[in-house]
Amino acid sequence: TGNRTFTMIKPDAVENGHIGAILEKITGAGFNIVAMKYTQLSRRDAQEFYAIHKERPFFGELVEFMTRGPIVAAILEKDNAVDDFRALIGATNPAEAAEGTIRKLFATSIGENAVHGSDSDENAGIEGAFHFSGREVF
């Protein structure tokens, strides 16, 4: 459905104590949390979730990073959710992220960039279904 996106608060942001501040930014921007869990990705989970990047030079580093500690996974609902959420989080590289964006505020590097946001409605559906069963979405 076009009004949902999927996000993860990544291990760096969890380690740095930013879960609460990031959730506040998300709900403050008008997103409704329709599913959420605190969890940790296995290596297999991360390899499958990021399969599209498996030929990239940073793939190994990405899997190491995303599995090194817990994450918060969530499905968010809002009109125009995918595009509005990408605007809220800012550019992949925090050095290029706009003022006030979640990555500008909380990310440390291009790899350890605090949050994930789906890049299309199709991927939002796939990524949400990867993490949540129907009974976990409200």
Q: How far is the CB of 125 from ligand CMP (least distance, A)?
A: 17
Catalytic residues: 116
Q: How many distinct helices (H) and strands (E) make up the chain? A: 7, 4
The reply to whether 43 sits in an annotated binding site is: no
Count of other CB atoms within 10 angstroms of residue 13: 25
Minimum distance from residue 80 beta carbon to ligand CMP (Å): 19
| 86 marked among binding-site residues | yes
DSSP at 98: P
Which residue's CB is nearer to ligand CMP, number 35 or number 63? 63
CA–CA dist 78, 32 (Å, integer) = 7
Which residues make up the interface to ligand CMP (CB under 6 A)?
53, 58, 61-62, 92, 110-111, 113, 116
C-alpha–C-alpha distance, residues 6 and 129, integer Å: 9
Query: In the complex, what is the shortest distance from the CB of residue 18 to ligand CMP, in angstroms, rounded to a whole number?
Result: 15
Can you say whether residue 100 is alpha, beta or left, with left for phi > 0 and alpha for psi between -120 and 50 degrees?
Answer: left
Write out the binding residues for ATP.
10, 58, 86, 92, 103, 113
Write out the binding residues.
10, 58, 86, 92, 103, 113
